[in-house]
Amino acid sequence: MNINIPGIDVEKAIKNAGSEELFLELLGDVYKLMDDKIASVESNLASGNISNYTVEVHSLKTTCRMIGAIELGEDFFTLEKLGKDNDVDQIKALTPGVLDTFKGLKPYLEPFALNSLGPQKSFDREALSNNLNMLIAAVNDFDLGSAEDTAKQLLSYKCDEALSTQIKDLDKLVSNLDFDEAKGLALQILSSL
């Protein structure tokens, strides 16, 4: 497969992800969470919440490294270190440029997010329950691959709007590695089925 995204080491990223398929899925996941993550970094910086800012740039460092954006990962690592040192002047000086570089990936990642098809399977309470239980088990085992696969399975069911929104939120939590919140939401969905 010929993927050419400026600043991304595709070979390294496929190795990190474990397979080309997971790498491509990851690109779509990163596209979906970009706007939220960027907004969070900017609002934490604007409000002077450097500890939350540091958590967000740490997460983006990991994300960038996983998709093979090694240099950008290093830039976020620099911001993380500045956050830990509480060097607000340097943070303010460097953050906009790093975020602009990250935003620059967006048009390249968009096609990978659009590849995921919408719901195709009819609503099936039992299958949904089984998938939710599998997702909770995967989250408990910190098994990212299985958790993501199961979240994708859940997205393939046609559900009413409220449930569909909850499942999309669940998929986003799994993609963001927010495992505690994902587990809580999965349990909440289960109890409402």
In this prediction, residue 110 carries a pLDDT of: 84
CA distances from 110 to 29, 101, 119, 185 (A): 10, 15, 19, 27
B/e letters for 133-147, b = 16+ CB within 10 Å, e = fewer, are ebbbebbeeeebeeb
In this prediction, residue 184 carries a pLDDT of: 94
In this prediction, residue 41 carries a pLDDT of: 97
Return the domain boundaries, the chain: 10-114, 125-192
Residue 83: both structure tokens together: 């956050």
What is the third-level CATH fold of 10-114? Four Helix Bundle (Hemerythrin (Met), subunit A) (1.20.120)
pLDDT, averaged per 10 consecutive residues of the chain (193 residues), comes to 84 86 87 92 96 95 92 97 97 97 92 66 85 91 83 82 89 86 93 89
DSSP string, 21-77: HHHHHHHHHHHHHHHHHHHHHHHHHHTT-HHHHHHHHHHHHHHHHHTT-HHHHHHHH
Whether pTM > 0.85 for this model: the answer is no
In this prediction, residue 118 carries a pLDDT of: 56
